[in-house]
Amino acid sequence: MIRSALIIARKDLRERIRDRTVLILGVAAPFALAAIFSLLLPSGDDALDLTVGFVDADGTEVSQAFRSGALAGVERAGIVEVTEYGSTDAAHGAVDDGEVGAAIVIPSGFGAAAQAGGEARIEVIANVSGGISAEVARALAAGYAAELEAVQLSVATAIQLAGSEPPPPAVEELAHRAGEIEVPIRLEDQATQERAVGATTFYAASMAIFFLFFTAQFGVLSLLAERRRGTLPRLVAAPIRPASIILGKAFGTFGLGILAMTVLVVASTLLLGAEWGNPVGVALLVVSGVLAAMGITAMITTLARTEEQAGGWNGIVAVTLAILGGTFFPLSQGPEILSRLTLITPHAWFLRGMDDLSVPTAGPLDVLPSVLILLGFAVVTGAIGLLRAGSLVVRR
Amino acid sequence: MRIRAALAIARANVVRLLRDRLGLFFIFVLPLIIIVVTGLQFGAGFVPRIGVVAVDVGELGDELVARLSSDDETGWEVREFDSIDGLTDAVERRQVDVGVALPAGYDEQLRAGGIADVVLLSPPGDTAIRYRTTLASVIGEQATVLRAATFTAGEGVAPFDDALATARSLQALLPGVSVRVTTAGEEFLPGELLGFGLGAHSQLILFMFLTSLTGAAQLILSRTLGVSRRMLSTPTPIGTILVGEALGRFGVALLQGLFIVFATMLAFGVDWGDPLGAALVVILFALVGSGAAMLIGAVANNAEQASGLGVMAGLGIAAIGGAMIPPEIFPPTINTVSHLTPHRWAIEGLRDLVSGGGIGSIGLELAVLAGFAVVLLGLATWRLRAALTR
């Protein structure tokens, strides 16, 4: 039984490889698209250059405290590049030209107003495309405003509850003490690992799994083709079991899928610089991915009557699952419901497995959840496909 | 040249396509799916997404979480997690950009005059920088009233809770220190393009061209099935047949273009700008697509070759032409190369119309598209005539 299956598989495989469609759909198209995508995306490791302008039109110790405190702090930490400008107009011009992402202006009279408990305002001029620079400038200004306000508020609260206004020197003394109260909430940084592949690897993997659903349908499709051409009844008439025929088709497809994926993994690693991670883990993912794709396409194909119909349905299913599975764009940016729905697709699990492999210490065990679920897809849909393929062969 | 015969050939082409259900899916349904998905993604531009763990954090903790998701303060989308492990996993998988974990007992610690440590979980790289300052400023605002309460209680004027209540009510009354933000400069992507607009423009261009190119296979089918030879044997002149085939391709592309324009306009309120200008861009681009399709149909040897070539060229040129990824983020070299594609010119024309331009302001784009159409249709007619009469 196995021998005749292998002969059928070898013949199918040879036929498919000679036919250039497989070469185009299984290897050339996914590789070309992955290359195009990774070429188009600007390299992700662009250093983040945040630029903020500063104008001190106030010139009091209050405004200088901001320059030498919070602003100097982020500057020293290398987070933000600070440029000082002589006037608000100069800063406005610089923001307008995009020279800096945003500018913080401390207007004249600010310090006096803040100390007297009056209304004081810091101006932030943000470039509409300033992005994070604008955000950081706003946050820096807001942080300093909060600091000043905390002192104002502390003094005002104490006076209000004490019920009487003390003389000015005592108020100043109060403000001084208020400034020394420790900030009660601390922010502590903690870095996590990264469990996500880079853009190049993402597109190599996602295009590979997307096009795998086209490669994986050849076996069952050829069953329909053999029926149409009349070679299927002849095979059935031969002294081999129907199961051998189906097994042969399955072997052929499996071989084809593995071949295409292997070529893609190797080519994208060598030519595009994709990093697939632990080879055993990748192999497990590829094998279970190929099986899942075979199961799903077999189920769909055996529901169709003609090759055209089957090809059409498979195309629809492949594209829909691929979009839902986040192969064209990571769905984490989509609404929350979409990032849950995505887990009904084998694509999402394959890519999740790739993410698990991106951790430097990852081994084959890390992809086990993804592999098991992919195999689950393969068993359930494959069983339906096999049953229906069986009746397809035996019928007539 | 017989107009009726040409129209009949064109009509047969369009009808043949409308009968194919798979074709209908790719021409009408798929573009809309992609427009919806990209629209959802870029709906309001990029929305920073943070995960929060806030279990047993009391009133002050809830207040802080509410501030983190407030549009006035951060504009962040906040997703809540039950445990720090779940949050860490989400940060690692980039499901959220960063995570913020409040300690359990946040409220009691602070009310007792203690210090609470809030943890900012971030992946390696510069992500933390993007969030830290804003987070610190939001926390700072809460810390302001807490400081006032701690100070007042420490001065022995009143107990903490009373001082906190007074500080809160005073905070609203104090003129305070505020920050005013004004904007300057030009927007990176015009606001009208955010949401479904960006996807609608690029998918229109991508799919009109892709459909035209894959339609090239039909031309070859007509040739291999002998339909073309039979048509040639009738008294219909070859010029009429060529015009009919071109009109057929043009009809399909135009039909698809109009469908996408009207469907996105009615369903998602996508703005297409000046109707006359948009119509001209769509018509000229449909002509460009027909020309390219006929050229492939004339030079390819069999239907498989043509559809393979068509899909590859359709997707590849669309990618370089800025119909997949906004050209604004292209590196400079690609940006230059991009202008060799008709896609880029069509997209620039459409964008110009959306930002208020009229036919006058897209003259260059229209001229370039017309140039592409003339050259491609000319080449295609020449090659196809040779292929048909061979």
B130/A33 Cβ within 8 A = no
In a domain, B103, yes or no: yes
Q: Is the pLDDT of residue B45 over 50?
A: no
| Mean pLDDT, chain B, integer | 83
Rounded distance between C-alpha atoms, residue A232 and residue A222, angstroms: 10
Q: How many CB pairs under 8 A join A and B?
A: 310
**Is B174 inside any structural domain?**
no
Which among B30, B133, B173 is the top mutation candidate for probing chain A, defined by the most A β-carbons within 10 Å of its own β-carbon? B133
CA distance A346 to A375: 9
The predicted pLDDT at position B339 comes to: 93
The fold adopted by the segment(s) A50-179 is abc type-2 transporter like fold (3.40.1710)
B290 and B154 in a single domain? The answer is: no
* pLDDT tens digits for range A69-95: 888 888 888 778 899 998 999 999 988
Whether residue B147 sits in one domain with residue B13? no
Task: Check whether B139 has a pLDDT greater than 60.
Answer: yes
Q: Are residues B145 and B71 in the same domain?
A: yes
Where residue B95 sits, what CATH number does that domain have?
A: 3.40.1710.10
Q: Determine the distance in angstroms separating the CA of B237 from the nearest CA of chain A, rounded to an integer.
A: 34
pLDDT number for residue A257: 94
- How much is the pLDDT for B273? 86
Domain that holds residue B266: 3-42+194-389
What radius of gyration, in Å, describes the C-alpha atoms of chain B?
A: 30
Q: Is B266 left (phi over 0), alpha (psi -120 to 50) or beta?
A: alpha
Q: How far B349 CA sits from the closest chain A CA (Å)?
A: 22
Q: Please indicate whether residue B360 or residue B279 has the higher confidence score (pLDDT).
A: B279
Q: Tell whether B96 and B203 lie within a shared domain.
A: no
Does residue B268 form part of some domain?
yes
Q: Give the pLDDT score at B379.
A: 92
Q: Which of A123, A124, A334 is facing B41, going by the closest CB pair?
A: A334
B217 with B124, same domain? no
Ranges of residues in chain A whose predicted pLDDT is under 70: 40-48, 130, 329-336, 395-396
Q: Which tens digit of pLDDT belongs to each residue from B149-178?
A: 989 988 888 888 888 888 888 888 877 788
Minimal Cβ distance to A120: which of B94, B113, B177: B177
Residue A191: strand pairing partners: B122
Distance CA A247, CA A223 (A): 11
Structurally, chain B folds into a number of domains equal to: 2
Same domain, B114 and B32: no
Torsion sign, CA atoms A358, A359, A365, A371: negative
Mean pLDDT (whole number) for B54-78: 86
Is B199 in the same domain as B317?
Answer: yes
pLDDT at position B194: 56
Output the six-digit token pair for B308: 């393979």
Residues B207, B353 within the same domain: yes
- What type of residue sits at position B49? R
- The structure's pTM equals 0.72
pLDDT at A263: 95
Residues B153 and B301 in one domain: no
pLDDT at B44: 41
Cβ separation B182–A124 shorter than 8 A: yes
Domain extents in chain A: 2-43+197-394, 50-179
Contacts of B304 in chain A (CB under 8 A): 20-21
Q: How confident is the model at residue B186 (pLDDT cuts 50, 70, 90)?
A: low
Does B125 share its domain with B205? no
Rounded CA-CA distance A88/A125 in Å is 9
Q: For residue A194, which residues of chain B lie inside 8 Å, CB to CB?
A: 92, 123-125
Choose between B72 and B44: higher pLDDT: B72
Does residue B203 sit in the same domain as residue B274?
A: yes
Residue B143 falls inside a structural domain: yes
Query: B242-280 burial by CB neighbour count: b if 16+ within 10 A, else e?
Result: bbbbbbbbbbbbbbbbebbbebbeeebebbbbbeebbbb
Dist. CA A341–CA A142, nearest whole Å: 39
Do residues B269 and B358 both lie within one domain?
yes
- Contact between B316 and A32 using a beta-carbon 8 Å cutoff: yes
pLDDT digits (tens, 9 = 90+) for B276-334: 999 999 999 999 999 998 888 888 877 777 777 787 888 889 888 988 877 877 888 88
> For A112, which residue in chain B has the nearest alpha carbon?
B177
pLDDT tens-digit readout, A281-332: 999 999 999 999 999 999 998 888 877 778 778 888 888 898 888 887 666 6
Task: Note whether B182 and A124 are within 8 A (CB).
Answer: yes
> Using one digit for the tens of pLDDT, what is the confidence trace for B211-257?
888 777 777 877 777 777 788 888 888 888 888 888 888 988 899 99
Distance to chain A for B305, nearest Cα, Å: 8
Whether residue A126 and residue B187 make contact (CB cut-off 8 A), yes or no, is: no
Angle between helices A131-162 and A168-179 (to 10 degrees): 130
